[in-house]
Amino acid sequence: MVRYVLIAALVVLFAGVFLRGAFASDVPAVGAEAPDFTLSSQEGKPVNLKDFRGQWVVLYFYPKDFTSGCTLEAHNFQRDLPQYEHRHAVILGVSVDSADSHKQFCTKEGLNFKLLADTDKKVSEEYGSLTNLAVVKFAARHTFIVDPNGKIVRVYTSVDPAKHSGEVLAALDQLEKSK
């Protein structure tokens, strides 16, 4: 019996050590200045967060192009794009995939908003959105709403790709009313 308890304790200890490094670090807090960055878009052009001052920014991190959840989430943002434009909001998707992968994804899926390539994983890490599973690193499914002044006003770390776009639109409406 003691042997099983010791084995269980060791399993829990090793799992805790492994999983602590597996998940993203702390995300920037609501009210903080959004960390600035410059990343390449699917068009191969540099995009800087400061380029969007004066607009709302929906900065969403996602794991991988062409996967089912990421495709669903992107389709919903694309479907709702006119509503975002009406609210003076821009959508920026970020993953650790290459700009070429993003270009292929946008072409295949009919996406007309910017997808940004964080191939060195620094931006994902700075936003607490980098997941590290042993030798594989990818962006966690997180979203940040950045106000027109560059401040983070909403953070989502638990995202349902099927409902997320509607949730973000509702948040933008609420944030606009409270200005």
Can 70 be counted among the known catalytic residues? yes
23 CB contacts (<8 Å, ≥6 apart)?
131, 132, 140
Q: Of these residues, 27, 70, 89, 91, which one is catalytic?
A: 70
- The CA–CA distances, whole Å, from 170 to 4, 80, 114, 134, 156 equal 50, 12, 21, 37, 13
The CA angle 31-74-78, to the nearest 5 degrees, is 95
**In the sheet that 89-95 helps form, which strands lie side by side, from edge to edge?**
46-48, 38-41, 114-117, 89-95, 56-61, 142-146, 152-156
- Nearest of 97, 149, 101 to residue 118 by alpha carbon: 97
CA distance 147 to 53: 8
Taking a C-beta distance cutoff of 8 angstroms, is the pair 135, 142 a contact? no
Structure tokens at 113: 């908003």
Q: Name the one residue in this structure whose structure tokens are 């899926």.
A: 109
Q: Which residues are catalytic?
A: 70
